[in-house]
Amino acid sequence: MTLAYITHADCRLHDMGAQHPECPARLAAIEDQLVASGLSPFLEYVEAPLVSREALERVHAPAYIDALEERAPKRDWCTWIPTRR
């Protein structure tokens, strides 16, 4: 059985500040641990694709997505919003 490690280089740009657990350093630590544990060769590394609105609506209410779009920075930080690409 193959296990996928799905990520994207843009994830390293998502910096919520020093006090937030979701940060680029956490991704680096996870990848380092995969190598150190010997699991890395057993993973298939996959680049995450751009998500469609339809796919998002499979797991989130449309109103929630709309609220995120309204609050999102206008500087192309949210690359999953097709109108901002």
User: 29 and 56 share a domain?
Assistant: no
Average pLDDT value over all residues in the chain: 85
Check whether 85 has a pLDDT greater than 50: no
Closest CA to 62 of 71, 52, 50, 53: 53
User: 71 and 41 share a domain?
Assistant: no
- pLDDT value at position 83? 47
Q: Is the dihedral of CA 46, 21, 57, 50 positive or negative?
A: negative
pLDDT band at 75 (very low <50, low <70, confident <90, very high): low
pLDDT, tens only, 8-46: 988 888 777 777 788 888 899 999 999 999 999 999 999
- State which residues form the domain around 74: 51-85
Backbone angles phi, psi at 59, to 5 degrees: -125, -10
User: 81 and 45 share a domain?
Assistant: no
Q: How many domains does the chain have?
A: 2
Closest CA to 45 of 55, 37, 35: 35
User: 60 and 26 share a domain?
Assistant: no
The pTM of the full predicted model, rounded to 2 decimals, is 0.61
